[in-house]
Structure 1
Amino acid sequence: MVRALLVSLSASLALAATAAAYSWDFVDNSLPEPTFATQTACSRELRGVYEDLSIYAYSASCSLTTNMLPAENNMRQLIVLERQHLEGDSERDIREWNHAVHESLRGLSVPGPYDIADNDSEESAQIRFRSFRGRTRGHHREACTFTPVEMPVSQPKYRVVVGSNCAAEETPYLIDNLPSNTEILPVRTEGFVAPLDSLPKDHPIVLKNRALKHRQALQSLVDQVDVETMEKDVTWLSGEAPGSPFLTRSSTSKQSLEVAQWLKSQFESYGCDTVELMPYQNRFGPNVICTFKGTEHPTEHVIIGAHHDSRGSFLNPRAPGADDDGSGTTMLLQIARIIKANNLSFGRTLVIAAFSGEEQGLFGSAALAKKLKASGTTITMMIQGDMLAYRKPGEPLQVAFPARYHTPELSSLLRNVTELYVPNAVVGTTGACCSDHQSFWEAGFPATAFFERNGPIADPKYHNSGDLVYREGYDFEQLKTSAQAMLASVFEVAEAKVSGADL
């Protein structure tokens, strides 16, 4: 008999944001899929996949009462919180993190969103947020509350599932109350998750990996990655350059709009065919989307992304995010600069995407992935660059790919590309999670990510207001290495051309 791991809440969870009520069920992936011969009318949709934890929504009409939670409740979403993989983690550290998360959520009540166009400074907004008790911009409303779910004993302590009475888009400030090494993983409240774990043998990624060979013309482009221009861009983003206006790049601050506008102007100067500000929630700054239209396969898209938002220390209005993810955003600008300098075109359509809302739960990338999936867009590849510039003193230059939440064949191709064109880099894997490529992987698109280090995160200023350029460990040779690997990868798959001819 199939055993389902049913998690009971003090109050049952339901998805009330849709026309039909839903309830949530946690299923152990190590067990075979349940079959219910008499329950053919039961609608079951996968909403989140996190290794050994799968989360499904069932329609209220489904009669599988033994495997379900009742639908009568005001809780509207589930949130998965995961402890980021840090160097030196011990079992005690993990237990203490789990305890800290539960303590942070105990009695927590946070406001609904306020418009980021407010005249509030970031500091006053933070103060107002933390003193909020049921009032938003002068209007009474019920605050969002959060209830930790009692997890089965089989679940690891580095993950906490939380239920909330508010929809996901209404809780952008949750992250500010959690330990700094906490990642918010999205549980979809509409649509369904369909991760792409493998590619067919005739997929362009698989075929390209078989025929991969070094080309000197592509190597010459890789060698054009320039430290001086990257330093100029990343210090402007971090607020360290003279004249930079940026105190913070938090997605929930009005400066997020200013960052997006600046990125838009930069991409326009580099000759993108189109540059779009893509708003998706009024409490976040927009995504910035630069597109170079493909000449031979314009309906096939190659996406390279990073997130332009950042996160600072608790109660500190400063959020420079020089590594997380000013480094990735600078990489995007560097690739656009090299495209312009060499008058490149592409066989496939190339999309350069600077996302917002990553720190609050991959909101910006989820909005784009949802839009592309709904339109039936063909995505040949999506790659993300997140944290590319920190090098622990004494360690070699490195490029790492995810150990989970990625498409293996794609990671294999990009590993091979990196070894061909950036031979001085030590290539491996990382247990660090979670970034915007996951939104595309969950939507069924081939996706993976680049990271600065094999193994866990070593940057001591991760999610900290001290995440600056001019500090020990921030290494421009490491950033250059990461940018070279990503440029080679995207130019290879997008089929870069000079004067209309293949490289």
Structure 2
Amino acid sequence: MVRLSLTVSAALVLVASAAAQNAASHWELVDANAPQTKEFQPACGKELRGIYEDLSIYAVPASCQIKSSMLPAEQMYSQLTVLERQQLEGDTEQHVADWNREVKEAVADFAVETNGDVPENSSGQLPFSNRRQRRKFCRLTTIDLPKSQPQSRILIGSNCAAEETTNLIDFLPSNTEILPVRTQGFVAPLSSLPLNHPILEKSRTLKHRQSLQAIVDQVDVKAMEQDVTWLSGEAEGSPFITRSSTSKQSLEVAQWIKSQFESYGCHTVELMHYQSRFGPNVVCTFKGTEHPEELVIIGAHHDSRGSFLNPRAPGADDDGSGSSMLLQVARLIKANNLSFGRTLIISAFSGEEQGLFGSAALAKKMKADGKIITMMIQGDMLAYRKPGEPIQVAFPARYHTPEVTTLLHNVTELYVPEAVVGVTGACCSDHQSFWEAGFPATAFFERNGPIADPKYHNSGDLVYREGYDFAQLRASTKAMLASVFEVADVKL
């Protein structure tokens, strides 16, 4: 899951090697078409083009140049700007203050190579700057530093096209992440829904239905355990070591999910290849009987992340839990021979951990094709329950459509009374791609408040550990199933 916190920092970051810190720190953006009287001209404003963990990726106008080298922005294409810090359970005000100070004073921290051997401080904890090891980011264009520092390079610029990566990888360090930049255009989220929108109509008429409750209560923990342990590599016979969407196994994962969807009777199942470096999305469609042109989409991502320099990426919670939820929804449709008034799409995305790329590709395509999306919801991290806390279902505080969130909050309270429903600051999963494209969207999360899972983005994100809770996963799945069945107009 790609998430940001509410703590804002405005530091501009050019990704550089540690040796290049001093050389890079004086770089500035200027407008080549304007008098050079100011360091930053208004025409050099930035445009949000994507999100990667605690970085937001911005594009700048082509007239902007880097002052020290006069490299046109059309060649460099994007800057990395530190926008917000990931909020984690246990953070203190001092942690946040330390983060803001370090971002301003040590931008090269984003490019420091480390083998994980970080000295502990006097309290026996890792220094705050190293609580999350960071990697270099590739942006295609390279600039050689002056001869005084010939051994160093600064990596900036574009979206590392697939045909360029072979050359780049020859000189990049082993921990380099080659990350394409999303380019679907300006972020234009939906501001509000019209009064006759199906979401508002459903809100006005929503009531509990025992016939739907009977379906919801069929969510099978044993089946979900089998699915998620197969994806995490914990089940006997599972071939999966990693589910990174840039790995060879990403295609194998997608093929397995496709076979499961096909066995559950999806009318169509598509492997959506959108970029050669990434595994595909897997898109299952149940065609609506009354309003087939109106789409209801339920999503999760099948890719994952592991610990720094660790090849294992099991992703049992992030987002094996969401993937198992998708399979459970499809299984129950087949088991009960269900049909829907609106077309229901179940989509397992790839590339979420690298920047929401799979969902962005699908959202962009659907927008270009003029599709009508009544609702899109995402399930990301659904299974962790902090010891001592109740079962919870949380909705995002931002990057969502309020009317959709309100409806699904009410649906959850109707059909999953065992869950405490609330709000989380965790955000930025695949629903955001649809929200940015102007479609109604929201997400489900496992906890009210910030992320609490200590194995978040860690190779220890396994099923069989403290806190991974199938009662929590079952409640989250029930809430999402009830939500899409209500909006898709399930026929009971």
TM exceeding 0.5 = yes
Say whether the 8 Å CA contact 2:137–2:176 is kept in structure 1: no
Kindly tell me: are residues 230 and 131 of structure 1, through their superposed partners in 2, closer, same or farther at Cα, counting changes over 3 Å?
closer
Taking the TM superposition and a 5 Å limit, the aligned residue runs for 1:22-171 are 24-26=44-46, 47=49, 58=61, 60=63, 74-80=75-81, 82-97=84-99, 99=102, 102-106=107-111, 164-167=156-159
SS in 2 for 1:406: coil
1:457 has 2:451 as partner: yes
C-alpha distance in 2 between matches for 1:431 and 1:377: 30
Counterpart position of 1:31: none
TM-fit CA distance, 1:105: 3.0
C-alpha distance in 1 between matches for 2:157 and 2:418: 51
C-alpha distance in 1 between matches for 2:418 and 2:411: 13
TM-fit CA distance, 1:340: 0.4
SS in 2 for 1:300: strand
TM-fit CA distance, 1:198: 1.7
Say whether the 8 Å CA contact 1:197–1:408 is kept in structure 2: no
C-alpha distance in 2 between matches for 1:142 and 1:187: 10
C-alpha distance in 1 between matches for 2:137 and 2:183: 26
Kindly tell me: are residues 310 and 93 of structure 1, through their superposed partners in 2, closer, same or farther at Cα, counting changes over 3 Å?
same
Kindly tell me: are residues 197 and 163 of structure 1, through their superposed partners in 2, closer, same or farther at Cα, counting changes over 3 Å?
farther
Give the partner amino acid of 1:365. S
TM-fit CA distance, 1:57: 5.3
1:444 has 2:461 as partner: no
TM-fit CA distance, 1:56: 7.5
Kindly tell me: are residues 357 and 321 of structure 1, through their superposed partners in 2, closer, same or farther at Cα, counting changes over 3 Å?
same
Which structure 1 residue ranges, 5 or more long, are not aligned? 15-21, 27-44, 63-68, 109-129, 135-140, 147-161, 498-502
Taking the TM superposition and a 5 Å limit, the aligned residue runs for 1:226-265 are 226-265=220-259
1:224 has 2:225 as partner: no
Taking the TM superposition and a 5 Å limit, the aligned residue runs for 1:100-499 are 102-106=107-111, 164-167=156-159, 188-497=182-491
Counterpart position of 1:39: none
Kindly tell me: are residues 489 and 73 of structure 1, through their superposed partners in 2, closer, same or farther at Cα, counting changes over 3 Å?
closer
Counterpart position of 1:157: none
C-alpha distance in 2 between matches for 1:434 and 1:222: 27
1:12 has 2:14 as partner: no
Say whether the 8 Å CA contact 1:417–1:485 is kept in structure 2: yes
C-alpha distance in 2 between matches for 1:71 and 1:416: 51
SS in 2 for 1:496: coil
SS in 2 for 1:384: strand
Kindly tell me: are residues 405 and 131 of structure 1, through their superposed partners in 2, closer, same or farther at Cα, counting changes over 3 Å?
closer
Kindly tell me: are residues 491 and 79 of structure 1, through their superposed partners in 2, closer, same or farther at Cα, counting changes over 3 Å?
farther
TM-fit CA distance, 1:167: 1.3
C-alpha distance in 2 between matches for 1:454 and 1:178: 34
TM-fit CA distance, 1:102: 2.8
SS in 1 for 2:309: coil
Kindly tell me: are residues 377 and 268 of structure 1, through their superposed partners in 2, closer, same or farther at Cα, counting changes over 3 Å?
same
TM-fit CA distance, 1:225: 0.2
Give the partner amino acid of 2:157. N
SS in 2 for 1:74: helix
C-alpha distance in 2 between matches for 1:198 and 1:311: 34
SS in 2 for 1:290: strand
Say whether the 8 Å CA contact 2:305–2:313 is kept in structure 1: yes
- Map Cα deviations across residues 267-288 of structure 1 (whole Å, 9 max, x no partner): 0000000000001111111000
C-alpha distance in 2 between matches for 1:195 and 1:420: 29
Say whether the 8 Å CA contact 2:57–2:81 is kept in structure 1: no
- Map Cα deviations across residues 71-120 of structure 1 (whole Å, 9 max, x no partner): 55631123455432211222332355563783343478xxxxxxxxxxxx
SS in 2 for 1:344: coil
Superposition RMSD in Å: 3.7
Kindly tell me: are residues 178 and 463 of structure 1, through their superposed partners in 2, closer, same or farther at Cα, counting changes over 3 Å?
farther
C-alpha distance in 2 between matches for 1:270 and 1:434: 29
SS in 2 for 1:477: helix
Give the partner amino acid of 1:165. G
The alignment's TM-score, normalised by the length of structure 2, stands at 0.76
Q: May I ask how many residue pairs the two structures share in their alignment?
A: 413
TM-fit CA distance, 1:10: 1.4
C-alpha distance in 2 between matches for 1:166 and 1:89: 34
- Map Cα deviations across residues 327-386 of structure 1 (whole Å, 9 max, x no partner): 000000000000000011110000000000001100000000000000000000000000
C-alpha distance in 2 between matches for 1:434 and 1:318: 24
Which structure 2 residue ranges, 5 or more long, are not aligned? 1-9, 14-25, 32-41, 65-69, 114-133, 145-153
SS in 1 for 2:345: strand
C-alpha distance in 2 between matches for 1:420 and 1:300: 25
Identical positions, percent:
70
TM-fit CA distance, 1:193: 1.8
TM-fit CA distance, 1:411: 0.1
